[in-house]
Amino acid sequence: MRRGAAIGMLVAAGVSASAVAALSVIDEPAVVDTVARRVRSAVPTVGGCDVFPADNAWNRDVSADPLRADSDAIIATIQSNGGTRLHPDFGENPDYGIPYVVVPPDQPLVPVDYVAYGDESDPGPFPIPLDAPVEGGSAATGDRHVLAVRAGTCELFELYRAFPTGNRWRADSGARFDLSSNALRPAGWTSADAAGLPILPGLVRYEEVASGAIHHAIRVTFSRTQRGYIAPATHFASTRTDPTLPPMGLRLRLKASYDVSSLSGQAKVIAVAMQRYGLIVADNGSNWYFQGAPDPGWDDDDLNQLKAVPGTAFEVVDTGSIQR
C-alpha cells in the first residue's frame, strides 16, 4: 500500500495529525539481517515426544496459584511423621533413581502377566524389552519400576514390581499412557504408581537440568498419606482418614520467599522448578523423597545441597477437591 493512502486511512480512523507525523517513512524494502531463532516449546520431551500437552497438570506453572486453607496444617502433619527435609532419591550411584528406556515404533511386543492388580491394569502386550533397566537393578527387591517410551507413537508404558520371566514380564500392575492426551486413568484405578499417575513425567532428568530449566512438576513420596486423591491422581493407598495427611495428587510448592540464590548448580535448577511447578504426591515412601532418572552426569555434591531445604519451606497449592 502506498504511504499516502495509509495516512488517509489513519486520519479517517481518528488518529491525530501529530501521531501521523510521528510515523516513520518506509521508503525501501525491509532487509533481514538476523537469522530468526525457532522458539522452543517449554513442554518436556523424551524420545522426540512431548511428555503430555502444555496444559497438562504435570506441565502447568502453579507459582501464582492460591493455597489450600489447610496448607499449614498439612505441612505440620507431614513434618511430624518422618523426615523433615528434602531428599533427592537419585544421584551418582547408578542403582538410585528410576530408569526408563526409549524404544522404536517397531519394538517387539512382550506379554505381561499381572499377579496383583490386573483388574486395574492395562492389558499387554507391551513394547518393553526383557532387558529394559529395572529400578534398583536386576536383583532389586523393591518397587522394581520399569518404564518405556515408544517413539513415533508417543506412548508411555510402565510396570510395577516387574520381573522378566522367560519370554514375558510378570508384574503387579501396569499402565499405558498416550503422551499426546490429558486423559486420566479410570477413577479408583492404580497404575505403576500408587496414585494412578504416570511416573516418567515427574522424574528429574539430567538433560533438562543441564539445559538450565525443568518445565514440569516433580514426583514426591511421604511416609503417611490419607485415604483420598486429587486429580490428576485417580487412586489412594491408605486407610487413614486424618484430613491433614497428604492425599495422593496433592501439589506442594517451594515458597517464593525461599532464597534459591543460596544454592548452586544442579540443586538451584531443581529448586527453581519446585517454586514454579512444585511437587506432586505420587506414592507412599520416605518423607520428602523426590525422584530422578539415573545418569552419570549427576553430581552428589550439588544435589546434596537440597538436603538442607526444610519441609517448612513448602506450602500446599489448591488444585481441587479430594476424592474419597
Each residue's pLDDT tens digit, 217-267: 999 999 999 999 999 999 999 999 999 999 999 999 999 999 999 999 999
Cα 227 to the chain's mean position, in Å? 23
Contacts (Cβ under 8 Å, ≥6 apart) of 234 = 184, 185, 186, 187, 188, 189, 190, 191, 195, 196, 197
Q: What is the pTM of this model?
A: 0.87
Q: Looking at per-residue confidence, does 10 or 162 come out higher?
A: 162
In the predicted model, is pLDDT for residue 203 greater than 80? yes
- Angle CA(218)–CA(210)–CA(208) in degrees, nearest 5? 40
Question: Which helix or strand (DSSP H or E) is residue 276 part of?
Answer: helix 265-276
Q: How many CA atoms lie within 13 A of 308 on its CB side?
A: 13
**Using one digit for the tens of pLDDT, what is the confidence trace for 126-141?**
999 999 999 999 999 9
Q: What is the pLDDT of residue 171?
A: 98
What pLDDT was estimated at residue 3?
30
Give me 68's grid cell.
489450600
Average predicted confidence (pLDDT) for the chain: 90
CB 128 within 8 A of CB 115: no
Q: Is-contact 95 135, C-beta < 8 A?
A: no
CA distance 318 to 204: 23
What does the pLDDT read at residue 42?
Answer: 83
Question: How far is Cα 65 from Cα 72, in angstroms, rounded to an integer?
Answer: 16
**Position of cell 486429587?**
230
Helix/strand/coil for 78: helix
Q: What is the mean pLDDT of residues 192-205?
A: 98
pLDDT digits (tens, 9 = 90+) for 46-100: 999 999 999 999 999 999 999 999 999 999 999 999 999 999 999 999 999 999 9
